[in-house]
Amino acid sequence: MPSLLYLLSVAAVIVPLQSSRQPIMNKYHNLYGNNMSGHDLTNIFGFGIGVLNFLQQGQHFLNQEVPDMVPQFGAMYDFVVIGAGTAGATIAARLSEIHQVEVLLIEAGTKENFLMDIPLLVHMLQLSNDINWKYQTKSSNKYCLGMEGNRCNWPRGKVMGGSSVLNYMIATRGGAEDYDRWAKMGNEGWAYKDVLKYFKKLETIDIPELQSDTTYHGTKGPLHISYPIFHTPMAKAFLDAGKELGYPLLDYNGKNMIGFSYMQSTLINGTRMSSNRAYLHPARNRRNLHVTRESKVKKILIDRHTNRAIGVEFIKHRRIIRVFASKEIILCAGAIGSPQLLMLSGIGPAKHLSELGINVVRDLPVGENLMDHVAFGDLMWTVDEPVSIRINDIINPTYPYMKDFLMRQLGPLTVPGACEALAFIDTKHSTKLHGLPDIELLFIGGGLKGDMILSTVMGLNNRMRQIWSKYTTTYGWTILPMLLKPKSRGWIRLLANDINVKPEIVPNYFDNPEDVKTMINGIKAAISVGQTEAMKLYNSRLINDTLPTCKNYKYDSYDYWECAMRTTSLTIYHYSGTCKMGSKEDPTAVVDPRLKVIGVQGLRVADGSIMPEIISAHTNIPIFMIAEKLADMVKEDWGYLNKSDTGRHAKNNRSIATRYKWCNTLYSMRTLWLFIIIVTTSSAHNFLDIVKNYIHSFGKEEKFTSNSKYDFIIVGAGSSGSVLANRLSENKKWKILLLEAGYMPNFLNRIPIFVGYFQLTDYNWGYNVEPQKNACLGMVNRQCSWPRGRGLGGTSILNYMIHTRGNKLDYDKWASLGNVGWSYTDVLPYFKKSERFNIPGFKNSSYHNENGYLYVEHVPYHTKLATAFLNAGQELGYKIVDYNGQDQKGFSYIQVNIGHGKRCTGATAYLEQINRPNLEIITGARVTKILIDADKRAYGVEYIKDTVWKKVTCSKEVLLSAGTIDSAKLLMLSGIGPKEHLEELNIPVIQDSKVGYSMYEHVGFLGLTFMVNQSESLLQNRLAFNPNVYLEYFLYKRGPITIPGGAEALAFISTKYASDERPDVELLFVSGSLHSDNGQVLKKVLRLSDDLYDTVYKPIEEQDAWSIWPIVQHPRSVGRLTLQSKDPFKPPKMDPNFFSHPADIEIILEGIKHAINISKTKTFQAYGSRLHDLKIPGCKQFEFASDDYWRCAIKHLPSMMNHEIGTVKMGPQTDTYAVVDPQLRVYGIKALRVVDASIMPMIPNGHVNAGIYMIGEKAADMIKESWKSEW
């Protein structure tokens, strides 16, 4: 395709030149010439597949992020870096190469995601409040006159990667003379000869013709620099225009700058490469690199006696945290944030600080010397044909552009904000081709005025928007003349002694008359480009609308252009100079040439603010250079320069990058292959239905109203919370609010095989149990993980979808404990009400219903090993049963919450299907407290969303459905719990109650692996690189991808220890083992120690095997949940006391023996099944397969089934451990119920999620009955 474009471009220019130089007509039907790269339907199909490809890459991208952490108050680090932008990310990565030091990186923003790295859509990012600080300049009558309130918008990145995630990715260094001037100002070590090596160190130049120029370019740096993959014909014409005007085409990052060029950009494989992606992703596994996100620094802590910076105070999750640095604090908050923080910390102009009541530590000219590159944003030419980028075309899925990017990262979406080329010129000496330019002409291959999103980003006022709106359907191109060496200087001042109050920004654009003169010269130079033959070939016409503010001046006069530039003043986001570098004798300097704050020890600044004079180019690459140089200076000052582990880390980083590129290549090839097949089949609409349904599910933004009045507030949108929200909102008179701490899961969450992966994401609360004495011995720190779902659907978005109700005696025992209305006869109607049962052999059973919301089916695909498991059961005398029917004991394929091959969660079943105006859902809302009045009546909740604390009230009831862990936690935080425990934490006691007691969990054994000699098991690599597997799923919703994490069948059996008719062991069959994913997911999910995995499972990677997990059904060991503190953001302490009762181990041991007997059946011997016999470390003293060996092994490798129950136990008033009554009302508190697994008085057989749906259905009817007068 690029070669075709090149030929078309050449033909477009040469042919007319050979004839009559008439404008080109009818040569282009679109940006690809006459080739549309397929038909409309083909492009739509490709777009759909591309979405999946992009989602997959996006999840991979998020997995590369350095994990977030919460520093302990008072924690000590060697270095603390403030700001994870261009400089901060670079410095943190470089310093963490020294394995002896601990580095903390503090970032106010959130994660970078893959969507942010689509180059063309860059300006859309600036609309986000989440990742853009959204500064504005002070209103002025000298510039920004076409903007709302005469204020220019000044974007700044608030995200990992900082402004390198928001910028236009333009890679320019400036000229040698820029840096030589720095050195002449007294900044020793900053001449061009000193900094060139750092420019080379930071980059990998991916432009083939420049790779051999090792004098000026590097090939082994973290940051990839390339030309955009795609160029419009107009970009080629712009370069031809430059040649026509006598300028060379050159590498402006080489020997000379003046000339024309395609734009060198920080891109890799067609996507943005931020500092986060370049420096931090490869360093994510360094144990000495710590990152705390969403942490807003308030001030730098300075010891007044020594004038030494000792620490940092910041806010995270509404908590104030202080951390300390034993060596240095490095401030990298940018040219706005760095001076603001210095001044808030007492470093700045003494008079200014004193006026605000800030104690002065050091009188320095912080905030002075503000510089920026300002451009003129109103020069646009129109053309007649689609030879430029028009956003309406680009996002149209019937065109190939979206498909090409999402599938292969090709096409116009790879062009950063449509910026394609640039020219550096000296307007005062037009024939001069060396030295520093004074103007940059930034070429945009699209019409600036036609992009109404950009007009919002710029903050244009209504009159300007009306003018620009005329060109939304117009093809065109733009040149932005940019002033490179402004003589005008501005300043930054504080408006309050408060980090939450943005500073006053006065850029003073065009304050110096020389700047006006130079900019007008730049405008004239841009107009001359439009008058070249190269541009006339496309019939380019300058839009010459007179600006409303300039109607008193003659168009094209000097006065007109001065008025125009003051109207459409456009920042290029190159703020610099506010913490000026200079010698200690320089009264205008804030930092010295080693970037140490003058007069303050232990504190440096490293970002664009230190530039003594703005360089003649875009500033991002120079900021990378500043950071690289600073890192070496720090290492040198502390004696680490020659001692770092740079080589080792660099090697690892290159290896990671190589693997990443290889995996991406394989994935793209597979996706392309799938695309070719799908577009040629008649079943393609099936795939599109999947994509369409995902896009429309929960497609509307959840309502968010802070002052609404509600009848009921439901806390938690998990299995039971989703049921409640659905059933209560059936009453149109009631207004329901559903609060969920998480967000909507993505499409991949619906694919059953990926179940394990999501436990490694933010959809999981990430809880771990307390270190155990008798269990979890093979896990890291003797802590087993307890995954809990955070998102719409709760844990039903993470679990293995297994649908088991339990035994009828389970519920009869509940009733016998005094829980009236909870016998099996009472609850069976609610089990039936919830389900949409679709298993043909059992469909007509009196135990099932086909009309509920929740899908219950068999997995659409079974391996031969799963069938063998059932056959083996029959061989041993067991029946094949419907374990949710009359008889539970026997063997069966698992019944699962899957509908048409996709996971069915509480949210997809109960919320997605309805659209009721009386139900409001707020996601990202973390409830911190239940509000209870003096009459002990619950009347609302307190929660936090987007760092803002809110309270909301209701008139009837608060319904707590946050799960076994968080319901108990919230009750205690609200003053309902054990009196002595709450008093220890200084929580006012409202109701003394046994919250957190009676905690049970189904626990089993993970370590039974049986090897086979046939290729029948689920091996990750066998699935990942088999296109047929994906084709079968996306077209027909069947195949091995529909198997939930490998779980396929189960058996309920009774051992010799069974005390009644109920089975006491479940045998869960898995058509793989802990090694089947080569340690990539399950090892991390289960927290397996390296020693255990490497000893037992690594030797059998890529070998076929199957497993049985024996699980005790009625554990005797009881645990307890308590609070760590009254801080709602700290997880509770969960001590399940696994195996504190010896009977649990003995029952599992009997289950192991039954499982081994299954492996010895003729059915399994036909597969050569044999017990994997590598001993678990820690159990080597015992004979393998002896009872004592298995007892030891069970303690090392217990299986957590995530079936925690009982912390808010249901019982009669006579039960001293009961927290709620049989109506689920909290004892002693009015208008508060708990509706989730925490209320279960005894754990039922099997898996608990079906029981939670039942509880939700029954609770909804009880609530309706309580308020029947309004029903």
Q: Tokens 């024996």 label which residue?
A: 1110
The burial class, CB within 10 Å (0-12 / 13-18 / 19+), for 239 is buried
**Two structure tokens written together for 1017:** 């098991």
DSSP string, 1175-1186: PPTT-TTSPTTS
Structure letter (DSSP) for residue 935: T
Buried b (16+ CB within 10 A) or exposed e, 998-1027: bbbbbbbbbbbbbbbeeebbbbbeebeeee
The one-letter code for the residue type at 975 is: G
824 sits in which H/E element: helix 824-834
Residues 576-598: b if buried by 16+ CB within 10 A, e if exposed: bbbbbbbeeebeebbbbbbbbbb
CA dihedral 225, 229, 230, 235 (to 10 degrees): 30
State how far the Cα of 17 lies from the Cα of 521, in Å rounded to an integer: 30
Token pair for residue 491? 């300043």
For residues 329-362, one letter each, b for 16 or more C-beta atoms within 10 angstroms of the residue's C-beta and e for the rest, the string is: bbbbbbbbbbbbbbbbbbbbbeebbeeeebebbb
Residue 685 appears among annotated catalytic residues: no
Residues 6+ apart with CB under 8 A from 641: 632, 635
Neighbours of 25 (CB within 10 A): 11
336 closest CA partner among 539, 573, 545, 570: 573
DSSP calls for 511-563: -SHHHHHHHHHHHHHHHHHHTSHHHHTTT-EE--PPPGGGTTS-TTSHHHHHH
Distances (CA, A) of 1008 to 873, 1096, 1109, 1144, 1174: 17, 11, 7, 17, 11
> Quick one: which H or E segment has residue 75?
strand 75-82
For residue 238, give the nearest of 561, 569, 476 by alpha carbon. Answer: 476
From 217, 290, 1075, 1203, the catalytic residue? 1203
For the chain, give the longest Cα–Cα distance: 102
Cα 404 versus chain centre, distance? 24
Residue 471 burial (CB count, 10 A): 20
Q: What is the CA radius of gyration of the chain?
A: 33
How do 854-858 and 835-837 pair as beta strands? parallel
Cα pseudo-dihedral 940, 942, 944, 950, rounded to 10 = 80
The label of the residue with tokens 């006026």 reads 355
Q: What span, in angstroms and rounded, lies between the C-alpha atoms of 144 and 153?
A: 9
CA–CA gap between residue 329 and residue 104 (Å, rounded): 10
**Which of 219, 211, 224 lies closest to 273 in space, CA to CA?**
224
User: Which secondary-structure segment (H or E) carries 811?
Assistant: helix 808-816
Cα–Cα distance measured from residue 894 to residue 1065, given in angstroms and rounded to the nearest whole number: 15
Report the C-alpha gap between 758 and 763 in whole angstroms. Answer: 7
Q: Which residues are catalytic?
A: 1203
